[in-house]
Amino acid sequence: MKTINIPPTNPASVERTRTSLSKEGLKRAYVDNLFYLQGRFPEVATPLDLYMAAAYTVRDRMLERWICSASAYREARARTVCYLSAEYLLGPHLANNLINLGIMEKAREAGDELGLDFDEIVVESEEEPGLGNGGLGRLAACYMDSLATLQIPAIGYGIRYEFGIFDQLIQDGWQVEVSDVWLRDGNPWELPRPKLRFGVCFGGHTEQCQDNGRMRVRWHPDLVVNGVAYDTPILGYGVDNANLLRLWKAEAPRSFDFQSFNTGDYYGAVQTKVDAENITKVLYPNDEPQAGKELRLKQQYFFVSCSLQDMIRLHLHSNDTLDDFHHKFAAQLNDTHPAIAVAELMRLLLDEHGMDWEPAWTITRNTFAFTNHTLLPEALETWSVALFERLLPRHLEIIYEINNRFLDEVRIRYLGDEARVARLSLIDERGEKRVRMAHLATVGSFAVNGVAELHTELLKSTVMKDFCELWPERFHNITNGVTPRRFIVVSNPRLAALMTEACGSEKWIRNLGCLRMLEAYAGDENFQQRWQAVKTAAKRDLADWLTRTTDARIDPETLFDVQAKRIHEYKRQHLNVLHIITLYRRLKANPNMDLTPRTFIFGGKAAPGYHLAKLIIKLINAVGAVVNHDPQINGTLRVAFLPNFNVKNGQRLYPAADLSEQISMAGKEASGTGNMKFSMNGALTIGTLDGANVEIREEVGEDNFFLFGLSADEVQRRLASGYHPRDCCDSDEELRAILDLIDSGLFSHGDTRLFRPLTENLRNHDPFMVLADFRSYIECQEAVGHAWRDRAHWNRMSILNAARMGKFSSDRSVQEYCDRIWKARSVDVKV
């Protein structure tokens, strides 16, 4: 190996402008970067130049830590956690990295002295990488933050989509999608690794052959695509560890389709290149799997294959064989999207590295662990056998072999129980044959986990029941968590300062349990006032920003009632709307009624092809248009739809919420993570007993949580006894009148048909029991309105909510994964 003699630096004479953390060092570096990386002097620098210079200044300091981490990890020979996820919803980097480096204040002073508009550069300028749809992708980003903070050697593997989740505009109340060209201005946080590339094969056929007397299989693909690595450093908070997020971009091999060139088929040759590069073009924007979309399966296999080849390369750097690969790596499958990894690792070990089946299977089964994020039957991923055969013929053979061996075991264990064999099989044989990806992931993993206690229990008793009976010891619950760095320190600096003051130190940022110290102040009138002032300031910030960027005008003195998440029937944004209409009708009937003034704020994207979800967005805006402009309402009720809910906008929203809407039908939301972000920022929750709400309520205490609705058990019982939503209307005059009011055209300029698909669906099917929970929700909201009037009591509840959120730090979740699943330990890094 080549070594370089790094010349010694004399700190007295040579200032290390690329790595110094002093204010003067930061200023010097910033100006250097503006000059020599952007090629600009201040008078002509654009906002983008100013941002880029700041980003490079921070990046240099991260790279120093990254290099130290890589060498410390190599020396420690510790187990590396590989997180395999098709999505990472990272959010803006700059502010987060300044916090994690511990130089936010110094950078602000440096910026001020240079005469820069710091907030404009740090908060406004950055285009966020939206490489995910929602909770699952954001969870991966939180876990990367916590892994680095806990000093665990880790690599996040994923896809470098050229277009992330679409930008949402609202036009005439409807969602309009605009493509997200996030790389247009360049990405200062990533390092392309053009030499780090792997070939990924598709299609063709397989052939059996003899190799030194052993039977081997050779795959003759008809397409090879290259995966090129792009690396982004992920820095821990308050430590010098920096981990690696390695995303793969698809490229055509350099000699793309020579044959076509030679035969003069220029367009044919270029088509091959276009097809190859299409693989990482765009993120599928659906929050349910895309049945039968070949490109989606290509994406999954592409990034998994690159990642496993990379892991093998790393392993062979310091080991002669792959025999103890599984001791050096633990690979977490973030849902079933990377589940093809089970077959791919087998293929690599068998076909590329000449191993026999048994040892290869031992390694594979001890490498992977699998997280399930959903119980919705329509979201359980399967791929048709025919598609598999066409795209990944060798993998299909391997899957069949895994299945045969597995089902033999099952048959011996459950003599004669062929129905069970059929239920457990990796292949669904009812109708067109399909590969069940959750079964592949489960059979190929040493651990399976759900993401909240209720979710795990339901997983074990419903979709994974047979597997749980077979291997009960493999099933775990690891309740989700979120990073308090981004979701308190970065997004709510005033609250963070108050927390630090009350706790006497910043320890809570690394150990969120310390916030329990706030409990002592929950009843303190003076502290309550300061707490409320922090909340009101955040509400004012949000109101000002909405005034600047939309035509919404909202009053920070009103109760901010917020629902921000993907738009989905099971999340029941329409239940929230029914409440708004309830209050509107009551106020119209009784203009003098004493109603708590509220601002209803919504945010969230609908999958572009999900018509009912888009109609819900239209309904929210339509109701808003009527309510906001009705002089009789006079501002007592307001409705605002915040367009383009993403991480950056979320950071404006969480600090400003008084009430957090977590109102999914019980049993449907696996965990939820927005519920945690709101509560950490002092919002009270109105929610059902669903997902992590159950545990949030346990932690904050039932007196500090607004509970309503059917439980998961009650939902099941109600369904079993025959649910007729129309009965709910028949027995509830107000409910009937509300649905009729929507149908009357009041919210649609007289169009009586526009919202029929929604109202008729509620009356006739109501798959998520909106009507069944309506009355309970309305009554609970009355209790909320009432509670708001005793502000001292409200503030007390708000303080207790934030104080008791220790459990929901992603540091706790990741530590549990390390201890119970990955068996990974920390490695201290010092620059």
Figure out which of the listed residues 285, 481, 691, 709 binds ligand F58, where binding follows CB under 6 A: 691
390 as an active site residue: the answer is no
Please identify which residue in 185, 288, 732, 782 interacts with ligand F58, judged by CB under 6 A.
288
3-state secondary structure at position 82: strand
Q: Are strands 242-251 and 223-235 parallel, antiparallel or unpaired?
A: antiparallel
Please say which residue, 180 or 287, places its beta carbon nearer to ligand F58. Answer: 287
Selected range binding ligand F58 among 8-16, 54-62, 549-557, 666-674, rule: CB under 6 A: 666-674
Is 18 tagged catalytic?
no
Beta carbon nearer to ligand F58, 251 or 669? 669
Q: Which C-beta is closer to ligand F58: that of 135 or that of 603?
A: 135
How far is the C-alpha of 672 from the C-alpha of 511, rounded, in Å?
21
Active site residue 249: no
CB of 195 vs ligand F58, minimal distance in Å: 31
Instruction: For the CB of residue 618, give the shortest distance to ligand F58 in the complex, in Å.
Output: 23
In the set 40, 328, 566, 804, the catalytic residue is 566
Rule CB under 6 A: is residue 672 a binding residue for ligand F58? yes
Return the closest-CA partner of residue 816 out of 450, 462, 469, 488: 450
Measured distance CA(484)–CA(678) in Å, rounded = 11
Spatial distance between the Cα atoms of 177 and 608, rounded to a whole number of angstroms: 7
Q: Considering the complex, state which of residue 566 and residue 763 has its C-beta at the smaller distance from ligand F58.
A: 566
Q: Distance between CA 695 and CA 713 in Å, rounded?
A: 17
Active site residue 566: yes
Q: What is the rounded radius of gyration, in angstroms, for the C-alpha atoms of the chain?
A: 28
Residue 338 as a binder of ligand F58 (CB under 6 A): the answer is no
Q: Which of 138, 579, 618, 677 is catalytic?
A: 677
Which residue from 433, 436, 434 is spatially nearest to 444, judged by alpha carbons?
Answer: 436
CA dist 147 → 159, 304, 446, 511, 666 (Å): 19, 21, 21, 14, 31
Amino acid at 654: Y
# of chain residues touching ligand F58 (CB under 6 A) = 20
Q: How many helices (H) and strands (E) does the chain have?
A: 33, 24
**SS percent in the chain: helix, strand, coil, step 5:** 50, 15, 35
Which of residues 103, 355, 426, 451 is near ligand F58 by CB under 6 A?
A: 451
Q: Is 480 in the site for ligand F58 (CB under 6 A)?
A: yes
Choose one: 58-66, 285-293, 599-607, 641-649; the region binding ligand F58 (CB under 6 A).
285-293
Comparing CB distances to ligand F58, the nearer of 320 and 378 is 378
Residues in contact with ligand F58, shown as a per-residue x/- string from 610 to 649 under the rule CB under 6 A: ----------------------------------------
Residue holding tokens 């710091």?
Answer: 118
673 sits near ligand F58 (criterion: CB under 6 A): yes
Of 62, 670, 712, 780, the residue at the interface with ligand F58 (CB under 6 A) is: 670
Given 57, 97, 100, 133, the residue binding ligand F58 (CB under 6 A):
133
- Which range touches ligand F58 (CB under 6 A), out of 111-119, 371-379, 425-433, 630-638? 371-379
User: Beta-strand (E) ranges in 385-539?
Assistant: 427-428, 434-436, 445-450, 475-477
Is 152:813 a contact under the CB 8 Å cutoff? no
Q: How far is the CB of 463 from ligand F58 (least distance, A)?
A: 14
Q: How far is the CB of 706 from ligand F58 (least distance, A)?
A: 20
Shortest spacing between CB 288 and ligand F58, in angstroms: 5
The verdict on whether 688 is a catalytic residue reads no
Residue 603: φ, ψ to 5°: -150, 145
Alpha carbons 87 and 695: distance in angstroms, whole number: 26
Q: What is the 3-state secondary structure (H, E, C) of 18-44?
A: CCCCCHHHHHHHHHHHHHHCCCCCHHH
Q: Per the residue annotation, which of 434, 455, 571, 652 is the catalytic one?
A: 571
- Give Dmax over CA atoms of the chain in angstroms: 92
Catalytic pick among 27, 373, 697, 804: 373
Residue 299 binds ligand F58 (CB under 6 A): no
Length of the chain: 831
Minimum distance between the CB of residue 130 and ligand F58, rounded to whole angstroms?
A: 12
Annotated catalytic residue 293:
no
Catalytic residue among 336, 374, 442, 673: 673
Q: Is 139 in the site for ligand F58 (CB under 6 A)?
A: yes
Q: Taking a C-beta distance cutoff of 8 angstroms, is the pair 545, 120 a contact?
A: no
For the annotated catalytic residues, the residue numbers are 373, 565-566, 571, 673, 677
Residues near ligand F58 (CB under 6 A) are 133-136, 139, 286-289, 373-374, 379, 451, 480, 669-673, 691
